[in-house]
Amino acid sequence: MHATLCDLITDLVQNSIEAGASEINLKVEETQTNLNVVIADNGKGMSAELLKKAKDPFYSDGEKHKHRKVGLGLPFLFQTAEMTQGEASIESTENIGTMVRFRFDPEHIDLPIFGNFTSAAVTLMSYGFEGNLSIERSVNGETYTVSKNELTEALGDLNDLESLTLMKQFIETNEEEINKRPDGSNRSVQSV
Amino acid sequence: MAKMTLEELRNLRESKKKEMSQRDGNDKSAQIIIGMGTCGIAAGAKEAFDAFLDELNTREIMDTKITQTGCMGLCFSEPTVEVDVPGMPRVIYGNVDEKVARRIVKEHLIGKALVSDHIFDKPAADIIK
């Protein structure tokens, strides 16, 4: 299992990148009672048969590593859902795309901590792929959106140190804004 | 800091670009490639990423790129990082936690000396096949 939920999210969005998606939408919504995440892509998708296999930790298509016998990304998600009485689902259509959704109870004692969303977003935005990634993020009704296309338009090469630094500031300030409590104090932003 | 807008982001980038071009031009930049597969993430590659970003900024080594790759097949030694500094051999470092990341910036990128106790050779040819 991943140490934080942001690690889990990073891992799952990378699946979309590796599926050759040109559009990936990531929605991460926190409320008092729910954590809702949706990752939707228009990548190569999977057949029903392959989808079944993808949930098996002892299956990998072997394309990245010929001798590897494990694939843990999706199994980590289903394990976390099972352990915390959450819900997780994956739908996929070949040549159309894939959608992964999950809903966890933030209060469940066995749920990994949320983690640092800014780091997760910065690493995903600068992962180095052709397509676009749009993030819709909300905490208790406060929302912001950011997309790889608009960041590239404003900053140029996202792997430059200057761009990375500015992008991090941008996402961090937006995170601070939506994590503000009504009294002006900030929800503690966990970093692990 | 107050919430930044895209417009502010654009302007900041422009002013930084001007600053950059006023400095001595060295167009050969160093590259840091961080393994960010399931194994890397689980072992703390994001913490290494943040440490590199922070240390490079503190020491103002701006002509550097940080890129990412999937699993390099060295899962037992994650987080793994490949460092390419012009004029030096490409090196893969293993077990790069926050401290080691900062050492790589200080010793390898600035001091031009390898961080010997964290070096991995490339895997043997038969393993790569």
Write down the domain spans for chain B. 28-128
Question: What token pair was written down for A77?
Answer: 């998600």
Number of domains present in the structure of chain A: 1
Of B127 and B31, the one with more pLDDT: B31
Per the CB < 8 A criterion, the answer to whether B105 and B112 are in contact is no
- Domain contains A189: no
Containing structural domain, residue A167 = 5-178
Nearest-Cα distance to chain B for A51, in Å, is 19
Check pLDDT > 50 for residue A192: no
Cβ contacts of A156 on chain B, cutoff 8 Å? 13
Whether residue A119 and residue B50 make contact (CB cut-off 8 A), yes or no, is yes
ipTM of the complex: 0.79
Residues A91-96, mean pLDDT to the nearest whole number = 95
- Domain contains A192: no
Which fold would CATH assign to domain B28-128? Answer: Glutaredoxin (3.40.30)
Q: How many C-beta neighbours within 10 Å does residue A49 have?
A: 8
The residue of chain A with its CA nearest to that of B5 is A170
Of A72, A128, A177, the CB nearest to B67: A128
Cβ contacts of B62 on chain A, cutoff 8 Å? 161-162
pLDDT the model gives residue B21: 60
Nearest-Cα distance to chain B for A79, in Å, is 15
Whether residue A123 and residue B4 make contact (CB cut-off 8 A), yes or no, is no
- Domain contains A186: no
Judge whether B50 is closer than 8 Å to chain A, CB to CB: yes
Whether residue B4 and residue A174 make contact (CB cut-off 8 A), yes or no, is yes
Which residues share a beta bridge with A88?
A102
Whether residue B71 and residue A65 make contact (CB cut-off 8 A), yes or no, is yes
pLDDT in tens, A115-159: 999 999 999 999 999 999 999 999 999 999 999 999 999 999 999
The residue of chain A with its CA nearest to that of B17 is A162
- Domain contains A191: no
pLDDT the model gives residue B112: 93
**pTM as predicted:** 0.86
> CA B64 to CA B32: how far, in whole Å?
8
pLDDT the model gives residue A54: 80
Of A54 and A6, the one with more pLDDT: A6
Strands across the sheet with B64-69, in order? Answer: B64-69, B30-35, B81-84, B91-93, B119-120
Q: What is the CATH number of the domain that holds A30?
A: 3.30.565
3-class secondary structure, B92: strand
| β-pair type (B64-69, A87-93) | unpaired
Candidates A1, A28, A2; CA nearest to A104 is A28
Average pLDDT over chain B, rounded to an integer: 86
Whether residue A161 and residue B6 make contact (CB cut-off 8 A), yes or no, is no
